[in-house]
Amino acid sequence: MALLPALLLLLLPLAALAAAAVLLGLPGYDIPPGVNQPAKLRLVLTVLLGTAALGRILEKTGLCSQITFGRYVRQGRKLGLDPKLFIQDVQFNKVPVRVYQPKATSDGPRRGILFFHGGGWVFGSLDTYEKVCRYLSRESDSVVVSVQYRLAPEHKYPAAYEDCLSATQHFLQHLQHYAVDPARVTVCGDSAGGNLAAAVSQTLAGRSDLPRLRAQILIYPGLQALDFNLPSYQQNRGVPLLFRERAAFFALLYLNGDALHMQEVLEGSHIPPDMRLKYRKWVSPDNIPEEFKVRGVKPFRPTDFIAEVYETVKRFCEPNLCPLLAEDSVVHQLPESFILTCEYDVLRDDGLLYKKRLEDNGVPVTWYHLEDGFHGIISLYDYCGVSFPSGKKGLDSVVNFLKSL
């Protein structure tokens, strides 16, 4: 990887041309006019496509894999000292974490936040989410623990879930060391991190040997892999930063370490008819409010079931991987919840469906919907000189919820 900076300079023009060719010459990518800062989003998309093109070049030349290069580009960097925060890298049960603690004196114990980053279980690091975690800690006056869980495809499910659960349990057992109030601990995550936060919250819901979680914060979470043809998947299939095919790709990479049978999964032939019928009460377009179906939605009928494919992906029906499928007996024990969704996001309906499940089970839910938002916008509230005001609004909505606890 030491040669990569030099290689970047040599190959960047070629990657830029590849990205431009994709943007200008091929269908499949969509920047809706109603999205926040469409010109800036197009710029971000061009960079992403250029990165992907360069990654493919590097992989074909044998220098490094496309995923390795993607991680290198996305890894971010640890920022300098923060005048308002103590920041320390430690390990919780052998899981690397970064702890952010406000320096200002407090009248009593502070809130505690376990933060699980996004990135499709494949990308993301402590450095990638430095700005977000610093912002949450400073603005909500909370102790934030950012968790570096193991990534796929090297570490398949349930590795990421187990790391997040292990780090959370350790924190809950040592709250006094960080001057955190046992009655105000929250799990929080975006995208794949929202998935992990929901799974951890469900696992801890019935535990009596640990402090009960005060809340869960799910930022455009991915919560199911049964149906990649819900209205939001149809409407936003080509909207960055998460395309429909990539959502299935990441889920398969996390589950199995490869993306075999991705087409069958997208077509819905990976779930037996009886199981699809069983979960229809929870995973169905019928449970999506009508106002979210007015934009280009067609009835979808899955292709014929393929038993061999189901055998390779049957763990998609496990709630620790797809929290939307948890039984009511678990869901009704969950803590107060905050769910953020974005209109131009394939995962929008996962959040809407979980919101309904929580409310149906008597769980208080605060829902914040960014009508001009897209997947990943929170991370781009202040990114390399490019800012998205809607991302800042979303992040502030999280802070306001935390302050209410």
Q: What are the phi and psi torsion angles at 124 (to 5°)?
A: 105, 150
Q: Say what the pLDDT of residue 46 is.
A: 84
The residue from 163, 181, 227, 345 that is catalytic is 345
Q: Say what the pLDDT of residue 10 is.
A: 47
Neighbours of 273 (CB within 10 A): 10
Structure tokens at 22: 């994709």
Average pLDDT value over all residues in the chain: 92
Catalytic residue flag (residue 191): yes
Beta strands in 154-261 (DSSP E): 180-190, 215-219
The arrangement of strands across the sheet holding 95-102 comes to: 85-92, 95-102, 142-147, 110-116, 180-190, 215-219, 336-344, 365-374
Catalytic residue flag (residue 375): yes
Is-cis flag, bond preceding 240, omega within 30?
A: no
Residue 232: closest CA among 168, 159, 297: 297
Each residue's pLDDT expressed in tens, for the chain with a length of 405 residues: 455 555 555 455 545 555 454 444 445 788 999 999 999 998 888 888 888 888 888 889 988 999 998 888 888 878 889 999 999 999 999 999 999 999 999 989 999 999 999 999 999 999 999 999 999 999 999 999 999 999 999 999 999 999 999 999 999 999 999 999 999 999 999 999 999 999 999 999 989 999 999 999 999 999 999 999 999 999 999 999 999 999 999 999 999 999 999 999 999 999 999 999 999 999 999 999 999 998 888 888 888 999 999 999 999 999 999 999 999 999 999 999 999 999 999 999 999 999 999 999 999 999 999 999 999 999 999 877 788 999 999 999 999 999 999
Catalytic residue flag (residue 345): yes
Structure tokens at 123: 């990308």
Q: Say what the pLDDT of residue 9 is.
A: 53
Q: What's the 3-state SS for 150-169?
A: CCCCCCCCCHHHHHHHHHHH
Q: Say what the pLDDT of residue 270 is.
A: 97
Architecture per CATH, domain 82-405, reads as: 3-Layer(aba) Sandwich (3.40)
The residue from 375, 379, 390, 397 that is catalytic is 375
Q: Say what the pLDDT of residue 74 is.
A: 84
**What pTM was estimated for this model as a whole?**
0.94
Q: Say what the pLDDT of residue 26 is.
A: 46
CA 216 – CA 334 distance, rounded (Å): 8
The residue from 142, 146, 191, 232 that is catalytic is 191
CA 189 – CA 196 distance, rounded (Å): 7
CA 391 – CA 217 distance, rounded (Å): 16
Q: ∠ at Cα 107 (106, 110), nearest 5°? A: 60
Please name the helix (run of DSSP H) or strand (run of DSSP E) that holds residue 132, with its range, or none.
Answer: helix 130-140
Where do the structural domains in the chain lie, given as residue ranges? 4-74, 82-405
Q: Say what the pLDDT of residue 79 is.
A: 82
